[in-house]
Amino acid sequence: MARQVKRAFKYRFCPTGEQAAELSRTFGCVRLVCNRALEERTRAWYGEQRRVSCVQSSAALTGWKKTEELAFLTEVSSVPLQRSLRHLQTAFGNFFARRAEYPRFKSRKKSRASAEYTRSAFNWCDGQLTLAKMADPLDIRWSRPLPEGSVPTTVTVSRDSAGRWFVSLLCDDVIAPAPVAVNAVGIDAGITSLVTLSTGEKVANPKHERRDRARPARAQRELSRKAKGSANREKARRKVARVHARIADRRRDFLHTLSTRLVRENQTVVIEDITVRNLLKNGRLARAISDAAWAALRMMLEYRCAWYGGELVVIDRWFPSSKLCGACGTVREKLPLNVRAWTCDCGAVHDRDVNAAKNILAAGPAVSACGAGVRPQWSSPEGSRR
């Protein structure tokens, strides 16, 4: 059965000089309003033990526009400013629910420059998008068509560190049903092999960052030689950003292809709950773990399973998938990372990654039936999952 979902379609566009200036002003105002509201909320809580709601922040924004210091806020569309307050409210909600850390201030150099427009702040006519405060439509590079008959409900304009402009259109889309599949697969994430499947297949890790490591290193050396504040330094900085953007784009494309294939071929996908943040504390493996992008792969599996009617099962992070013998159920006390194959006392010979994937698949039905919080009796927080 077809599913109707909210889906974002992202495209590049080339703004005119006037449009680029207007969007840059909007980005700056959005950042200022968000930082001011965060400052007010922080001062109210730590100084007066008082919470500030989104409605109160919106009223404060109206007052800021009437001051001589911040009167320039009236020069840009009010919708992106209001949306930034909504996003700040969501960030505080995630913080109080212990799903995220305390919201941070937005930096001019490090934060993503973006602005969100709702239906009242843009005009969509005959496939052309015109934003508020602009006379001409955006010159969008339509790399793929929008769903037939769909009208964007939200538009997000952004500019990355490499100077590329993007527009993301949120539309209602109908996802065609995937071919009927009854297979289930267990996935073990790794570094040498990005994923190992319970079928015995190993998907090699492309190692995009490592393969192109010489290019960003050379660009970074050129950047370090430029005088701070000069135009040549800005050119060199953008060159570094373009190199890293190319690596990120290739990595993202590979993960999209892999996740789509896994979800279309299997009704149930079982993975481990890997805490990447903790694993990055390992100084020797942090760079390789970041290049593998396990968190991005999990996110793609989550929403694609929801789209195509599949089931994603996440087992406990302390489950000893690699140390558990799939034949007799014996758990080894120690299994160093350099041991890629081992023999159990029962005589079974295991490939470390394949055995882990099979054990993950075997643990999937119990977790699916009892909930993600179930912990097998042989697992232990004091022991390593590897």
d(CA 356, CA 345) in angstroms, rounded, equals 17
**Options 188, 209, 222, 265, the catalytic residue:** 188
Which phi and psi angles does 173 have, rounded to 5°? -135, 150
What is the full DSSP assignment across 8-68? EEEEEE---HHHHHHHHHHHHHHHHHHHHHHHHHHHHHHHH-----HHHHHHHHHHHHTSS
H helical segments located in 182-311:
208-211, 214-224, 231-265, 276-279, 286-292, 294-308
148 counts as catalytic: no
272 counts as catalytic: yes
CB 196, CB 356: distance < 8 Å: yes
How many other C-beta atoms are found inside a 10 Å radius of the C-beta of residue 94? 13
316 counts as catalytic: no
d(CA 193, CA 108) in angstroms, rounded, equals 38
CB 305, CB 263: distance < 8 Å: yes
d(CA 114, CA 105) in angstroms, rounded, equals 15
d(CA 236, CA 227) in angstroms, rounded, equals 11
Classified as helix, coil or strand, 378 is coil
- Residue 359: CA count within 13 A, CB half-sphere: 30
**Options 272, 345, 351, 382, the catalytic residue:** 272
**Options 22, 209, 291, 353, the catalytic residue:** 353
What's the N-to-C CA distance of the chain in angstroms?
A: 40
d(CA 356, CA 188) in angstroms, rounded, equals 6
CB 143, CB 90: distance < 8 Å: no
Catalytic sites, residue numbers? 188, 272, 353
